[in-house]
């Protein structure tokens, strides 16, 4: 995702297409994030063309004025001719790049939406029926009062905003959203257009009745982090440019003030030379603000060294048994495994999370259970 954003800024359209395609193929709902990247690319290419068109009009107007003015020297006329002759080719090259950007973004947008539909409403239901007995993605059953199907959920979001607001303002959900913003020092709020690109997945987490999706420490939040990071970068840049414009008032006028004390003269000097005198202080303040929010969130919620929730899992003889047991499973066997060991056997056609798979159309041939964790079934009952 970060690669795709960088490619758009750098106008590397080929790299953008590769990055966006890789994003779309990660998981069915992530295709919606790729669609957002496509929409962003179309908008950026169009906006760049618009801005450069304005610059071209300005330069072209200046060129007309130069050509109409009497020549001041032979050298200046020759320089004007050289510059003017180069401008149309430069404009044409930019136009080709922008057209390619718009086409690349539109293609990714269309592909991602089609792939989302195929993956969510064709591929997943076909396989879900074999395991869960329901020809629909089980994720749609996680939205409680909003409904248990894609149609019902969308209908509730559109027709019952009061219910959506009631769910979204629950303390745990508000804390989830605040946590995503706080780790980036709240700067994403100043780049909110980037957050709109991730809105489908953000809402899917925020409105879910499954607490793990808005708990903030599970994989459901991982795809959102790059969007909040990019939004923070855009927001910080926007704030910096705003402050620079406001403080760009350099003037030596303070030197002509009536005689005054040193403190008054110093204050006047800073006021009249705000950009050079105050911007370093503003820079330091922004750095301190950013580090304070990032550091405090790490110390309070982080899982790494020195963090308040640092709790490394010791590797014991029990854990070392897993490698031996996994090696005993045939590569083509259908396996059901408890949640903790499930990822270690997932590279096969049929794999279930225990106790699922015992009565599936293609039942599990093998069961791999870690009896020290939650098994949802007494291991002794498995025959």
Q: What is the per-residue pLDDT for 250?
A: 47
In this prediction, residue 376 has a pLDDT band, given cuts at 50, 70 and 90, of: low
pLDDT band at 146 (very low <50, low <70, confident <90, very high): confident
pTM of the prediction?
Answer: 0.77
Distance CA(308)–CA(300), nearest Å, equals 5
What pLDDT, on the 0 to 100 scale, is given for residue 18? 96
Domain ranges within the chain, ordered by starting residue: 1-136, 141-238, 248-301, 317-381
Residues 86-111: what's their mean pLDDT? 75
User: What would the mean pLDDT of 21-42 be, rounded to a whole number?
Assistant: 94
Collect all residues with Cβ–Cβ distance below 8 Å to 342 and sequence separation of at least 6: 351, 353, 354
Answer yes or no: are the C-beta atoms of 212 and 220 closer than 8 Å: yes
- Please give the helix or strand (H or E) that residue 352 lies within, else none: strand 351-353
pLDDT for 301 equals 86
* Both structure tokens of 205: 């987490």
**pLDDT tens digits, 51-92:** 666 665 565 565 555 555 555 544 444 444 444 444 444 455
What percent of the chain has a predicted confidence (pLDDT) above 90?
Answer: 35
Cα separation, 135 vs 130, in Å, equals 8
Distance in angstroms (rounded) separating the CA atoms of residues 228 and 45: 22
Highest mean pLDDT (candidates 23-32, 43-52, 350-359): 23-32
The backbone torsions φ and ψ at residue 368, rounded to the nearest 5 degrees and listed phi first, read -120, 110
In this predicted structure, what is the pLDDT of residue 252? 45
**Helix-helix angle 171-182:199-206, to 10 degrees:** 140
- Give the whole-angstrom CA distance, residue 35 versus residue 137: 20
Look at residue 381 in the predicted model and tell me its pLDDT.
Answer: 61
Torsion of CA 214, 218, 219, 221, to 10 degrees: 30
- Tokens 């906006």 locate to 47
Tens-place pLDDT, residues 167-215 = 999 999 999 999 999 999 999 999 999 999 999 999 999 999 888 898 8
Give pLDDT, residue 277: 64
Reported as a single tens digit per residue, the pLDDT across 342-366 is 899 888 888 888 888 888 778 888 9
Smallest Cα–Cα separation from 167: which of 140, 190, 146, 152?
A: 146
Bridge partners of 336?
A: 352, 367
Which tokens hold the place of 187? 């700067």
Number of residues in the chain: 383
Q: How confident is the model at residue 239 (pLDDT cuts 50, 70, 90)?
A: very high
Contacts of residue 38, Cβ cutoff 8 Å, sequence gap at least 6: 20, 105, 106, 107, 108, 109, 110, 111, 112
300-351 confidence digits (pLDDT tens): 888 888 888 888 888 888 888 898 999 999 988 999 998 889 899 888 888 8
* pLDDT for res 127: 79
120-138 average pLDDT score: 78
pLDDT digits (tens, 9 = 90+) for 250-303: 444 444 445 445 555 455 555 555 556 677 888 888 999 999 999 998 888 888
- What's the mean pLDDT in 235-240? 93
């Amino acid at each position: 995702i970060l690669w795709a954003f960088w490619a758009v800024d750098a106008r590397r359209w080929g790299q953008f297409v590769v990055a966006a395609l890789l994003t779309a193929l990660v998981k069915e709902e992530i295709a919606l994030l790729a669609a957002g990247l496509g929409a962003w690319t179309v908008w950026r290419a169009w906006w760049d063309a618009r801005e450069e068109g304005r610059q071209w009009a300005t330069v072209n107007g200046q060129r007309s004025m130069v050509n109409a003015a009497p020549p001041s020297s032979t050298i200046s006329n020759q320089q004007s001719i050289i510059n003017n002759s180069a401008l149309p080719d430069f404009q044409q090259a930019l136009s080709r790049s922008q057209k390619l950007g718009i086409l690349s973004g539109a293609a990714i947008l269309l592909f991602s939406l089609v792939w989302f539909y195929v993956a969510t409403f064709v591929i997943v239901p076909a396989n879900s029926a074999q395991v869960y007995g329901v020809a629909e993605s089980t994720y749609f059953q996680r939205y409680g009062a909003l409904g248990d199907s894609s149609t019902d959920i969308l209908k509730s979001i559109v027709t019952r905003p009061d219910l959506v607001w009631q769910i979204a303002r629950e303390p745990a959900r508000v804390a989830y959203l605040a946590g995503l913003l706080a780790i980036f020092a709240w700067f994403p709020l100043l780049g909110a257009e980037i957050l709109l690109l991730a809105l489908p997945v953000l809402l899917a987490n925020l409105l879910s009745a499954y607490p793990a999706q808005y708990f903030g420490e599970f994989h459901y939040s991982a795809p959102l982090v790059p969007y909040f990071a990019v939004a923070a970068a855009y927001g910080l840049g926007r704030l910096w440019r705003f402050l620079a414009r406001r403080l760009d008032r350099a003037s030596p006028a303070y030197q002509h003030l009536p005689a005054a004390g040193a403190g008054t003269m110093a204050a006047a000097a800073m006021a009249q030379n705000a950009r050079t005198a105050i911007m370093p202080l503003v820079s330091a303040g922004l750095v301190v603000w950013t580090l304070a929010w990032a550091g405090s969130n790490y110390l309070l919620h982080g899982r790494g060294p020195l963090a308040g929730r640092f709790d490394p899992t010791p590797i014991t003889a029990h854990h070392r048994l897993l490698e031996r047991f996994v090696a005993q499973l045939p590569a083509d066997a259908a396996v059901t495994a408890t949640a903790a060991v499930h990822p270690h056997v997932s590279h096969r056609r049929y794999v279930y999370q225990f106790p699922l798979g015992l009565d599936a159309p293609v039942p599990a041939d093998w069961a791999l259970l870690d009896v020290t964790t939650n098994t949802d079934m007494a291991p002794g009952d498995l025959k």
